[in-house]
Structure 1
Amino acid sequence: MKKAAISLSFDEEKLSAIRMYMTKKEADLDTELLSQLDKLYEKYVPVNVRDFITERYGEDETAITKNVATAQNKSNAPCPPK
């Protein structure tokens, strides 16, 4: 599927704090945001619409779920030494 970019405005100090504490827990902000977007998609988009999108673009729900799980595992994996 074609990807779309999202641009948000958020308080700079809060974002800095999020990044700082996520780094300490070896979490990735992009991965977490993508995971939340997938949850919103599943919560608000009716199943029949999700099925239509899946059929139209050829990516099944399990592949999407596996991609999210893989991304989450990467965010929990230790960072390589610098």
Structure 2
Amino acid sequence: MRETELKILFPTEKLDALRFFMGKKELTVEQELKDYLDKTYEKVVPVHVREYVESKLDQASLQEETSEQRAQEQQPEPQRERQSRQTRRQREQAVAESASLSPQARQPEPPEEPEESQGMSMSM
């Protein structure tokens, strides 16, 4: 999906204060603005137009995935493995970043299970 960068003017002192206090709540100005734009889009753009736009986005992402798969199939095996590991790392980073951005969405991590011993164990 293509994205467009928006630029607005805002007093630097106000932005610094906003970032300071949002940082205490583990929020970012950028994410809050994006959330607000998404809500405004849903509020203002009629449902049938949103459905049309989303169908176009779905088609574009499907075409993009198909072309990526074709490109990967033509690559040598080691390079494909490297790319799949890289994309897995990128996905893990994205999940970690999104979790750090929205503390409400955090879920407690399950306790780590003790590692099983590789050696022999004896019991009496």
TM-score (norm 2): 0.49
* Superposition CA RMSD, Å: 2.2
Establish whether residue 21 from structure 1 lines up as the match of residue 21 from structure 2. Answer: yes
Identity fraction in percent? 36
- The gaps in structure 1 that reach 5 residues or longer are 60-69
1:5 match: 5
Whole-angstrom CA distance in 2 between matches of 1:27 and 1:57: 28
Q: How many residues align?
A: 67
CA contact (8 A) 2:26 2:100 kept: no
Q: Superposition pairs for residues 29-68 of structure 1, below 5 Å?
A: 29-58=29-58
2:102 match: 76
Higher relative contact order (CA 8 A, sep 6+): 1
Give how far 1:74 is off.
3.3
TM-score (norm 1): 0.71
1:66 match: none
- The gaps in structure 2 that reach 5 residues or longer are 60-96, 107-124
Match of 1:51, SS state, is: helix
2:87 match: none
Greater Rg by CA: 2
